[in-house]
Structure 1
């Protein structure tokens, strides 16, 4: 496949989103770019190649995309004019919402969501949720711990409406590895799914298969919520930040490594007004109303962005060139993205698959500008163009074909090989072999 650089007009970065090891950006002019790990098709370029530079996702040209959201190894986008949600990438457990578990290497519309006016989409490790403009919630994908909120623990291959929110108007949702949180228009906080670390905020370590209200001691109204892998972050109407759940790496920010089973106010930032929060696999970022960014938690790859690779259990400020103010953030599993008011995009953390967008596979522990997406970039927004005709290549892979060669032990201790490709899912491993990467 030939790739070439194409001159692009100066475009503003409207949205950024980070997955496990890939990144996506929406630029003005409805241009979508993706980069990083591509093995599962999550970049949408009709192949399984990694990209170390932001690459124009031409398959979405002309679709009037207004939002993009990364799951761990899959991606979604929404077209406001077409009223379509598109998804692509790793398809196990039905996380793409197309009624099967096949991988998709180019964006495809989710039929069950056609015609819905979508306010927000949240993607966790293996499940997704969509909030409609009317405040209703649809969920789909993996559900072994009840994270879909449907009252069952059965996976859902297509979006289903969460009936428990009947009569409620949901403002936003957030998805972790196997748990989910939501905030309603009246400021009520909900949690459901996997609760082993107190990450539901309900005072215990039990799972919930339907949304349950989180009690707050001071009756504060919540306006924002985000999930890390096993922890949750919420922000009140007064700009105060609360965290709860797993804190083995200090990701709750309270100066210790203790789990919290209910929302716990982050005193270290109590004099700040928090305007945005994001949760990574084991780290957390918070943006203040005056454009300052703070990070804490697991920092093995420098994803906290403070110049070292040491875990931090309390918030530290992330520094940017010329003291630029930050206006948007997103956490991947081991990397972080930020947009400044000067329309520059920065990234830091793990770069093994090119997810930092710097044209290399190097880790960074301080913010580094992504040249091709930034007004101050020396390359003048020269965005890589992936010239692929989706009709000429394979756009999907069935699970049986993906895991076509599966060793089977024999009584003699030798290994035989079963070859799939017959259209069923018999060869798919029972265990999720790709769940955790170090």
Structure 2
């Protein structure tokens, strides 16, 4: 795992010797030399790491118990989850953290509202299950600065947290301590959710994009700067088949099934990639990426990261380029800039490993390096996944041929409960006393 960016609180997990205002170039995180980290979520001051065995580690500031354990640490340390649960996804708010467990439950810790007391019901000193879902099974989570969303396997979106700007999509701006379904989306099965600082973005199975919340910079993509308390259809994306999204503090970026990228909202530091610092009130395709297939996107506070699988390269734009990306830029970048690190595409890595297995001289040299006796001049690496948050960037890498993640299918290929002919035939044959009747009631609730 590589990490770079702001590290004033040790949120990169590099250890005490690396605590500084920022790390300008990609650095290997030594802790993960012995542990396989598969996902990272990061806020302005802390990070949450998910390992392949389902365990969760945290690093950084712990003023609001957002690390889920005692003490601030600059090295990742394990979080004890209730009932020894295994996590499958992690997310960070400004001062709180979430993880989704393998049995479809949400574990939360920290302060949603930024208060250390529990006067408002938003403070969780230790990891605990987030209640209110009853029999619902959660398949995805997303967090803003002070709110969170949960997506169930029947395509329903639930929301909780601070709601000053309508970011919960409930038709009002009152805070919600208990998770509440966004009822206006019933009948539109949802497959993906994302959150900016104070806005939310929701994608239906048909590719329709809905947004709500703060809109001062056009981050809702609706052509104006009026905030919304109900999810509103981003009509200019209706023909694009949007399949994945990521949001920064005041900007939004979406990727289509074909790998095209559209961005909108604040471009104060070039984070939209349009060679301008002007805000965009409507989604605009990033022309610099035309002709390139993009399979991964990730947004930090004011920067954007993309991955192009065909060439195996990462490009970045926005504030994180101001001394925090390994490029020659000294300020922010307003157009995508390739990371000056020679990653190899998956196909090349496969060919290279075939060569290693057949070339005796290469194999001997490789084994000598692996034993620690010598180091090769250059290590061949490929990108598996990219993550961003706050002013940080993390990249999951591999020195072996491994197919990189494709965010266009990583989430949207999950099984979603549907009413179709096969299900209708099955439904007609079951008894009301059957254990599956609860599932039937869920379908009725969804389509009523």
Provide, for residues 201-254 of structure 1, a one-character-per-residue CA deviation record: whole Å limited to 9, x for no partner: 000010000110102266201111000001000000111111001101100001
Q: 1:261 aligns with which of 209, 225, 229?
A: 229
Q: Is 1:237 the counterpart of 2:209 in the alignment?
A: no
Match of 2:48 among 76, 94, 109: 76
Q: Which of these residues, 317, 321, 325, is aligned with residue 293 of structure 2?
A: 325
Distance 1:208 1:191 in 2: 8
Which residue does the alignment assign to 2:5? 36
Match of 2:62 in 1: 91
Partner residue of 1:170 out of 134, 138, 156: 138
TM-score normalised per structure 2? 0.73
Q: 1:186 to 1:145 in 2, by over 3 A?
A: farther
Match of 1:123 among 87, 92, 96: 92
- Superposed, 1:130-279 pairs within 5 Å as 130-144=99-113, 153-216=121-184, 219-279=187-247
Structure 2: how far apart are the matches of 1:227 and 1:373? 32
Greater helix share, 1 or 2?
A: 2
CA–CA distance in structure 1, aligned partners of residues 275 and 378 of structure 2: 27
Give, in angstroms, the shift of residue 354 of structure 1: 3.6
SS in 2 for 1:251: coil
2:39 maps to 67
| CA deviation profile, 1:282-312 (whole Å, cap 9, x unmatched) | 0000000000000000111000111100011
TM-fit CA distance, 1:380: 7.0
The alignment partner of 2:132 has SS state of helix
Name the SS for the 1:366 alignment partner. Answer: strand
Greater strand share, structure number: 1
TM-aligned CA distance change 1:97 to 1:235, over 3 Å: same
Pairwise CA RMSD: 2.4
Cα deviation 1:404-435 (Å, max 9, x = unaligned)? xxxxxxxxxxxxxxxxxxxxxxxxxxxxxxxx
Note the C-alpha offset of 1:152. 5.5
Secondary structure, counterpart of 1:37 in structure 2: strand
Tell me if structure 2 keeps the 8 A contact 1:145–1:209: no
After superposition, the Cα gap between the structure-2 partners of 1:78 and 1:114, relative to the gap in structure 1 and judged at 3 Å, is farther
In structure 2, relative to structure 1, the CA distance for the partners of 1:253 and 1:110 (3 Å cut) is: same
Q: What displacement does 1:113 show?
A: 5.7
Partner deviation per Cα, 1:2-47 (whole Å, 9 max, x = no partner): xxxxxxxxxxxxxxxxxxxxxxxxxxxxxx1100111110111113
Task: Tell me by how many angstroms 1:111 deviates.
Answer: 2.1
* Greater relative contact order structure (CA < 8 Å, 6+ sep): 1
Q: Which whole-Å CA distance do the structure 2 matches of 1:48 and 1:306 have between them?
A: 33
Tell me the matched-pair count: 345
Moved more, 111-120 or 197-206: 111-120
Contact 2:13 2:74 in 1 (8 A): yes
* Residue 290 of structure 1 pairs with residue 261 of structure 2: no
Note the residue ranges of structure 2 that are not aligned, 5 or more in a row: 346-376, 382-448
Aligned 8 A contact 1:35 1:357 in 2: no
Q: Write the distance in 2 (CA, Å) between the matches of 1:273 and 1:241.
A: 9
Contact 2:142 2:148 in 1 (8 A): yes
Structure 1 residue 358: deviation in Å?
Answer: 2.7
Q: CA deviation at 1:144?
A: 2.8
